[in-house]
Structure 1
Amino acid sequence: MLPDTLSRPAAITVDEYRARREALMANLPEGAVMIVPGGALKTRSNDSEYPFRQQSDFYYLTGILEPDALLLLLPGRDSGQSVVFCQDRDATLEAWTGRRLGASGVLAEHGVDQAFENAERETRLPGLLEGRTRLYLPLGEPEAMAIAEDALADAQAGRRRGKPALEAWFDSRELIHAQRLIKSPAELALLRHACRISARAHRRAMRACTPGLFEYQLQAELEHEFVWQGGSGPAYSTIVGGGANACVLHYIENSAVLEENALVLIDAGAEFDLYAGDITRTFPVAGRFNEAQRALYDVVLGAQERAVAAIAPGATLADIHAGVVEDLTRGLIELGLLSGDVQARIDDDSYRRFYLHSTSHWLGLDVHDVGTYRLDEQTPRPLAPGMVVTVEPGLYIPEDDDIPAAYRGIGLRIEDNVAVTATGGEVLTSEVPKQVEEIEALMVNK
């Protein structure tokens, strides 16, 4: 019998994309223009390309999935404030690679004010930029910088004819990313769906796991579920680390045999309509934790549950991380992996031998989503409704001689995705178990 499929959430509407552009333009000063390039195809080898993935800022403002596009936002322009350049219609190329929207399709399907095909870009772009004195673009991005340099040359030539001068360049990403940090109800629905798909994949991998499988075989179970449920695939490189491989934070080889007495750490998430899930679970290959594994797991789980409970408006990720560090350090001392006073081991960074990373990051269109974590150098950003974060403490015990043998080479991480609500946090990834008894029951009763 084929597995069931989840019902799909509604796509983000044209009206919402239009509202995003309008909100962004409302924050631009008089005389400004913003340039937002889309993504380009990238060669994998010879004439084979990587699957195309749209640039996130461009997608956030347009919903357009084709490569080689460009968005201009021109506040106050009478003949249209949003202009898109897109791929040319080409019957021969479309026979090989599929339909292209063309200018008429962009106008009909994506609600921008004007659209032109790329064949017209060179001739039309100078006129669109003429008279604009402040240029917002992703600084350092090659295509955008080339446009900016041409705009500067045109402005200098125009200045001699009495035209307004180009006064300054600004990085567009600060404004766009501040807006992306707060997710709309439609975005939250897509994130919930990406997380549900991810949770199903993790449950599937737990049920499939058995000693003697290769790590890549669990990867196959995960990624099959992602695509079966309508996702584009993994939102990032899938991590399946058995035994000591789990102590390598970005282990992606996934090539080792899963040993009977080991744990396996899986960090994997589905991408759905470009929105990402990001879940980590750690469980015993044979379905039962041994005493040392359980002791370490309980330390991480306790820290993770307290951190999840702390998610609320006004809380900060810095404070939540500090609480996790305290919980993990206390647990390491109780297990004999550290000694002395908890605060002393925090102050001298001894805990960092076993816990190397932060507890949380933003989640959205990008796995490590955009938005600053501080309002300034001294002030952490308070959480607010609509933000989505990960909560992912871990412990990674090296195989060193001074470590008790029972703990050597154990890597553990537990990660959930949490949306900040008006009153607290909504765990989007609760469908995949993390309690010891629930994990063992799922794995034993396959």
Structure 2
Amino acid sequence: MLPDPELPTLLPRPPAISVAEYRQRRDALMAQLPDNAVVVLPGAGLMTRSRDSEFAFRQNSDFYYLTGICEPDALLVLLPGRVEGESVVFCQDRDPTMEAWTGRRLGAAGVVAEYGIDQAFENADRDERLPELLAGRELLYLPLDNGEAVAIAEDALAAAQAGLRRGRPPLKGWLDISPLLHAMRLIKSDAEIALLSHAALISAHAHRRAMQVARPGLSEFQLQAELEHEFVWQGASGPAYSTIVGSGANACVLHYIENSAPLCEDGLVLIDAGAEFELYAGDITRTFPVAGRFDDAQRALYQVVLDAQERAVSAIQPGVTLVDIHQGVVHDLTAGLIKLGLLEGKVQARIDDESYRRFYLHSTSHWLGLDVHDVGTYKLNEQTPRPLVAGMVLTVEPGLYIPSDDDIPDAYQGIGIRIEDNVVVTNDGHAVLTADVPKQIVEIEALMAKK
């Protein structure tokens, strides 16, 4: 009889975001709008995978941020100052036959009772009700890059034209709601940071598991399976983005997702993977030796990336910009490449002529939140980078990717290394959310020795 498998410890879950916080977000958005405005924001629909099967449903992040509702085919309308209620949601109809196949639907009563929406109607009533809500409103806000939102608004406005004959003012213009909404999403609340911390913790446990399982003879897809098993075991919905497991020279492909090759016995494997928990993303990258120990060339190159990454993380505090962080990383990586003989000359000269971009061609950081590459501009205007403030969450992920070219020393050819952590900006500095997965060479080798 086989022994019982050793199962991972289940991590305690943080509280969900409260109905009150979702209402506060809607109120904060409406407070920025002029009088007689209206917001139209559709949620996501189901997407066909093939024939009559769909991909797993994932809600539109903007819609979720304002409602917390995770049903498909919903529509949010915000009407500042409306006496009957400022928030209205159109949702799927209650349908016993469909619910027997796909599960319970909220229905209009459920949306109001469970999510604190002021008023709700089923989608069957939308063609009649939405034009009535838009009639008389002068400014229409919607995500202008969302074709569905534009189409819904066009149809409803056409039907609302009869309202003009009753003396209601005509629509004065269409405006993009995204800049206002995305500026709000850029600063995370305490509840959001708790969810991001949990997504990071799940992701860290998965990376530790992959390090301990990895060995020559396995394939990239088997490490992917270990990672994604841990995600779901710990209550995540799955990966927040396509898992990257690149062994050997595959690590030099920035968005390598085939994950089909055998692990290189004497090489490194780069894993870029994160869990999605309550729609919030983790995003960790670690690089480690398949056989459990770095060779001299791997160790030297890894230390260059690690030193640059740690210095960048240590610089994070309010007032610093992502440009500052990236410039520091570029300096440190360029200096390391010169020290290893992969570049020649003075550090500033190689930065100025961008020689370093042969080995480091991406930016160092991006925002993190409901989307793995989260919303929010990186500049206040064309000339001014956005300074960090408390509540922002970002990644720090320098890397080096050495091509297998004839002018590269053999020992370095085909090595790809990236190290990525998730960091929240605090009032007096920062906190690393992903510290539970090792990145020091000695720590990685010690963990891998405990296979």
TM interval, shorter chain, is: over 0.9
Whole-Å Cα distance in 2 between the matches of residues 360 and 327 of structure 1? 15
Supply the AA of the counterpart residue of 2:411: A
In structure 1, which of residues 181, 184, 198 is the aligned counterpart of residue 189 of structure 2?
Answer: 184
Shift of residue 146, structure 1, vs aligned partner = 1.2
Structure 1 counterpart of 2:23, from 14, 18, 22: 18
Letter matched to residue 313 of structure 2: V
Which aligned pairs between 1:315-334 and structure 2 lie closer than 5 A?
315-334=320-339
Letter in 2 for 1:269: G
- 1:329-358 residue CA offsets vs partner (Å, 9 max, x unmatched): 010111111111111111111110000100
Tell me which residue corresponds to 2:180: 175
CA distance in 2, matches of 1:285, 1:344: 36
- % identical equivalent positions: 75
**Cα separation, 1, equivalents of 2:439 and 2:100:** 49
SS at structure 1 position matched to 2:128: helix
204, 208, 212: which one aligns with 2:213 = 208
Query: Structure 2: how far apart are the matches of 1:32 and 1:163?
Result: 14
Match of 1:283, SS state, is strand
User: Cα distance, 1:320 vs. partner?
Assistant: 0.4
Deviation at 1:142, TM superposition (A): 2.1
Give 3-state SS (helix, strand or coil) of 2:144's partner. coil
Q: Does 1:238 pair with 2:247?
A: no
Letter in structure 2 aligned against 1:12:
I
Tell me what 1:405 maps to: 410
Quote the residue 2:380 is aligned against: 375
Task: Indicate the residue corresponding to 2:270 in structure 1.
Answer: 265
Residue ranges of structure 1 left out of the alignment (5+ in a row): none
| 1:219 alignment counterpart | 224
Q: Aligned match of 2:351 in 346, 351, 366?
A: 346
Equivalent in 65, 72, 76 of residue 67 of structure 1 = 72
Aligned residues of 1:72 and 1:84 also touching (Cα < 8 A): yes
Which consecutive unaligned segments of at least 5 residues does structure 2 have? 1-5
Q: TM-score, normalised by structure 2?
A: 0.98
CA apart distance, 1:260 = 1.2
Matched with 2:284 is 279
SS at match of 1:135: strand
What are the within-5 Å matches in structure 2 for residues 280-299 of structure 1? Answer: 280-299=285-304
| Structure 2 residue aligned with 1:165 | 170
Alpha-carbon separation, structure 1, partners of 2:301 and 2:137 = 60
Asked if 2 retains the 8 angstrom alpha-carbon contact of 1:183 and 1:386, the reply is yes
CA distance in 2 between counterparts of 1:70 and 1:237 reads: 28
Kindly state the Cα deviation for residue 2 of structure 1 after the two structures are TM-superposed: 2.0
Among 57, 60, 69, the residue aligned to 2:62: 57
Cα deviation, 1:388-432, whole Å, max 9, x if unaligned, reads 000000000001111111100000000000000001110000000
Q: Tell me how far 1:141 sits from its aligned partner.
A: 1.4
Q: Secondary structure at the residue paired with 2:245?
A: strand
Residue 445 (structure 1) aligned with residue 450 (structure 2): yes
- Per-residue deviation, 1:151: 4.2
1:224 Cα offset (Å): 0.3
Amino acid at match of 2:38: V
Amino acid corresponding to residue 176 of structure 1 in structure 2: L
Confirm whether residue 30 of structure 1 aligns to residue 39 of structure 2: no
Instruction: Report SS of the residue matched to 1:302.
Output: helix
CA contact (8 A) 2:131 2:157 kept: no
Which residue type is aligned with residue 142 of structure 2?
A: L
**TM-score, length-normalised on structure 1?**
0.99
Match of residue 3, structure 1, among 2, 5, 8: 8
Deviation at 1:157, TM superposition (A): 4.8
1:182-221 residue CA offsets vs partner (Å, 9 max, x unmatched): 0000000000000000000000000000011000000000
Q: Contact 1:155/1:166 (CA < 8 Å) preserved in 2?
A: no
Contact 1:40–1:68 (CA under 8 A) maintained in structure 2: yes
Matched, 1:365 2:370: yes
338-347 or 116-125, which deviates more: 338-347
Q: State how many pairs are aligned.
A: 446
Give per-residue Cα distances to partners, 1:56-85, cap 9 Å, x unaligned.
000000000000000001001000000000
Structure 2 distance, partners of 1:380, 1:151, is 39
* Contact in 2 for aligned 1:155/1:164 (Cα 8 Å): no
Q: Secondary structure at the match of 1:108?
A: helix
Whole-Å separation in 2 of the counterparts to 1:87 and 1:311: 45
